[in-house]
Amino acid sequence: MTNHTALKDWVAKTAELCQPDKIVWCDGSKDEYQRMLQIMVDSGSAQWLSPERKPNSILVRSDPADVARVEDRTFICSNYEADAGPTNHWKDPEEMHEILRPLFRNCMRGRTMYIIPFSMGPVGSPIAHIGVEISDSPYVVANMHIMTRVGSKVLEVLGDDGEFVPCIHSVGKPLAFGEKDVPWPCNADNKYITHFPETKEIWSYGSGYGGNALLGKKCFALRIASVMAKEQGWMAEHMLILKLTSPQGVVKHIAAAFPSACGKTNLAMLTPTLPGWKVETVGDDIAWMKFKEDGYLYAINPENGFFGVAPGTNTKTNPNAMAALSKNSIFTNVGKTPDGDVWWEDIDRPAPDLLIDWHGKEWVHYDSVNKAAHPNARFTAPASQCPVIADNWEDPAGVKIDAILFGGRRSTGQPLALQSFSWEHGTFLGSTMASQKTAAAAGKVGELRFDPMAMLPFCGYNMADYFQHWLDMGATGGDKMPRIFYVNWFRRAEDGHWLWPGFGENSRVLKWVCERCDGAGDVVETPIGLLPTNDAIDTTGLDIPEDDMAELLRVDVDEWKQKIPLFREHYAKFGDKLPSELTKQLDSLEERLN
């Protein structure tokens, strides 16, 4: 167990509050993981999949009322509302504790309380941090085994007085004596995912699903870690990490932030089409970056697995993800085939007869309303199973970040690629990062949905202060900071066809990014940034018309002028807290466009 007095006291107080029937300290062993899977199968919440099709893997079906993150029930409970900012739901900490304590009182009766010591990042890494999650869910224990480093080795590093983030979770469904449990216990009417920045605590109640319950995921790795990063001078970002190796053996590491539906996971596991180039995965979702003695930023992937959206994943969009989830995986809310395999929309094969949907019922083929898999159906797979996982992905020292990419889904206006003029200009680009809504969703083509640095739902404090932290980091790192770029794979021509083929061909843009990091690669200065010249992107062997390439790299000044008021409206919600440097950057952009 542990001699950590503060940890033992916290566990004792939590047990007194929650009143579990049993307490288990998780040791992180393979036997423990297998026990959790069997507990779920025995309780009816999970089924074993075919050992031939998906070895050592289970299918879990959640309650239909508990299928995704609940942003409207996610709170930042800072002492002052201004510290949470306009993009978060705020609640006074004392008021929230008054709500939570009665809910947590006796909430684990009839259940086992699991204590899960976990490391976000390689155990013992100077960039890693430790958390301890208390949960009454074997589903959480099993997923945390995959997504983090769990167990006794974490307690050894924590020692007798090390710092940890306390995370309390309950499904919120106590059992009376003799009461039969349901397959997926939850409390649909009382869900709270709460974060306390000053005390670095996380309390989650009522949901057993995904990031609501796996508290190392967005809750710790981004919302609480972003606060820690601001206080301690590092960065906790919603970014993938790539390792690129050129045919000459030159290695670069790139971090990239994209809003949802912009190809983030696909880029993280890219299969390059350029001969001789190698792309490997360090992380697919989160990057923690700290300065080392040499003055450069070094990053780790704080996670240990992939928690990916299943629908749309296939061997064309992401063959490496498909390989990663081929065994030792947990599938949640996907369809099940008669031969014991999984199925979801846009997988590589047609739906078989007698397919069972995520509700556990026989599915009517091609039902346009009721999908076989829930749109947010997930797979949890060990990162070590990814065929292109980098050999240094668990290096405790981290990897030196050479470039940062921002991106969004923009059918017009935004070029294929550009480089920022400076770190300050790059921060401006990230702060105005946006994706274009479809005509159906937005009512008109061209309306933008802003998601600064892809952190809108995940920043644990006021985003205006977060922007200032970016600027402060740039001032600290100076010319040793990563170069910043903005990419857009989603441009369309007037007739609607895609101008850029995307997927593996995106390696051609990455090659130009690597060249720019070394001071090579041709550029032209434009009002919005440094763009590749028409022949700077290597299109060897790619059948792309010259007109399309020219359009991909064209700056539509009139369209950009129309975006200025939208940028100002976006900034206005941050009020006086918005850093003056960003207003200056916006004013300068407007001047350059005129």
What CATH fold (topology level) applies to the domain 402-593? Phosphoenolpyruvate Carboxykinase; domain 3 (3.90.228)
In this structure, are residues 507 and 274 in contact, taking their beta carbons and an 8 Å threshold?
yes
Q: Is pTM beyond 0.85 here?
A: yes
Contacts of 130 (CB under 8 A, 6+ apart): 117, 118, 119, 120, 154, 157, 158, 162, 163, 164, 165
Q: How confident is the model at residue 367 (pLDDT cuts 50, 70, 90)?
A: low
Q: For residue 470, name the pLDDT band (cuts at 50, 70, 90).
A: very high
At 154 the three-state DSSP class reads helix
**Cβ within 8 Å of residue 587, ≥6 positions away:** none
Q: Is 576 exposed, middle or buried (0-12, 13-18, 19+ CB in 10 A)?
A: exposed
DSSP state for residue 301 in the 8-state scheme: -
Residues 345 and 360: their CA atoms lie apart, in Å, by 16
Backbone angles phi, psi at 148, to 5 degrees: -135, 180
**Non-local CB neighbours of 375 within 8 Å, separated by 6+ positions:** 311
pLDDT band at 439 (very low <50, low <70, confident <90, very high): very low
Band of pLDDT at residue 369, cut at 50, 70 and 90: confident
CA distances from 392 to 73, 253, 419 (A): 38, 11, 27
Of 77, 219, 262, 517, the active-site residue reads 262
Sign of CA dihedral 548, 550, 553, 559: negative
Pick the CATH number of 5-46+68-233 from 3.30.70.890, 3.40.449.10, 3.40.50.300, 3.40.50.720: 3.40.449.10
SS3 574: coil
Beta partners for residue 449, in sequence order: 435
pLDDT tops 90 at residue 489: yes
Sole residue written with tokens 């010259």: 546
Residue 566 pLDDT greater than 50, yes or no: yes
| Six-digit token string for 479 | 């010319």
Instruction: Outline which parts of the chain fall under CATH 3.90.228.20.
Output: 402-593
Q: Which residues contact 47 (CB under 8 A, 6 or more apart)?
A: 41, 58, 59, 336
Rg of the chain over Cα atoms, rounded to whole angstroms, equals 24
Helix (H, G, I), strand (E, B) or coil at 398: coil
Distance CA 141, CA 143 (A): 6
C-alpha triplet 372, 310, 443: angle, nearest 5°? 80
Distances (CA, A) of 71 to 194, 511, 581: 11, 37, 30
The rounded distance, in Å, linking the Cα atoms of 58 and 381 is 11
Give 74-90 pLDDT, tens digit per residue. 999 999 999 999 999 99
With a cut of 60, say whether residue 287 has pLDDT above it.
Answer: yes
Cα separation of 582 and 445, whole Å? 27
Range(s) within the chain of domains with CATH label 3.40.449.10: 5-46+68-233
Beta pairing partners, 448: 436
pLDDT band (50, 70, 90) for residue 443: very low
Sheet strands side by side (includes 58-60): 46-48, 58-60, 330-332, 378-382, 305-309
- C-alpha 255/C-alpha 207 separation (Å) is 31
Say if residue 447's pLDDT is above 80: no
Length of the chain: 594
Please give the distance of CA 309 from its chain centroid, rounded to a whole number.
11
pLDDT for 370 equals 86
Does 442 have pLDDT greater than 50? no
Rounded Cα distance between 244 and 17, Å, is 50
The C-alpha atoms of residue 330 and residue 145 are separated, in whole angstroms, by 11
For 183-207, write each residue's pLDDT tens digit. Answer: 999 999 999 999 999 999 999 999 9
Tell me: pLDDT of 440 over 60.
no
pLDDT digits (tens, 9 = 90+) for 40-79: 999 999 999 999 999 999 999 999 999 988 999 999 999 9
* CA separation for the pair 348, 35 (Å, rounded): 32
Alpha-helix runs per DSSP H in 19-92 = 30-43, 81-84
Across all residues in the chain, what is the average pLDDT? Answer: 95
The separation between CA 362 and the C-alpha centre of its own chain, rounded to angstroms, equals 33
Tell me, what DSSP letter sits at residue 133?
E
User: Residues 307-325: pLDDT tens digits?
Assistant: 999 999 999 889 999 999 9
d(CA 206, CA 171) in angstroms, rounded, equals 5
Written as one string, the DSSP assignment of 456-479 is TTT-SS-HHHHHHHHHHHHHHHGG
Residue 262 falls in the annotated catalytic set: yes
Does 446 have pLDDT greater than 80?
no
Share of the chain above pLDDT 70, in %: 98
